[in-house]
Amino acid sequence: MSHSLSSDERGIIQSCPACGTANRIAYAKVSLHGRCGTCKEDLPLVAAPVEMTSPAAFTALIAQSPLPVVIDFWAAWCGPCQMMAPEFAKAAELAAGEAVFIKVNTDEQQQIAGQFRIQGIPAFALIKSGQITAQTSGFQPAARLLAWMRQS
């Protein structure tokens, strides 16, 4: 399983590579380099998928993110979703500063999945300026996912 970042209603939680301190990146500032609250080192751009832990966190991110948001709808029991995880993580890394990649577990976050009328997984949605601009589904290599994101 690839590493993902956690989130709450106020932002994305990211560890400082220099000192390990957990820092919250406000959703409105995901396109900027942050600074560690402890050691003052620059934090890297968000370059890993962010696990959505609540509808409130999801709503805050969608409303405040200056970057497009790519959503991976998945579940632990889904084989193709497990195969997709490293590709999604690779796409998130390649698009750091260009888009935010988030993961929505359809078993745990049924309310969010319901908003998008998800029928089968893995499924993906692209949100720009708070609006759904595209949806697709099925396994996608990172390069194809990025091409879909950039042309939508």
Cα separation, 128 vs 61, in Å, equals: 11
Cα separation, 129 vs 64, in Å, equals: 8
For residue 78, with 0-12 CB atoms within 10 Å meaning exposed, 13-18 middle and 19 or more buried, which class applies? middle
Question: What are the Cα distances from residue 1, in Å, to 88, 136, 144?
Answer: 11, 22, 21
Dihedral sign (CA 40, 46, 49, 53):
positive
Confirm whether 78 is a catalytic residue.
yes
Length of the chain: 152
Whether a cis peptide bond, with omega within 30° of 0, leads into 122 is yes
Catalytic site residue from 19, 36, 39, 78:
78
Catalytic site residue from 19, 36, 39, 81:
81
Confirm whether 36 is a catalytic residue.
no
Q: Are strands 11-15 and 22-26 parallel, antiparallel or unpaired?
A: antiparallel
- Catalytic residue list: 78, 81
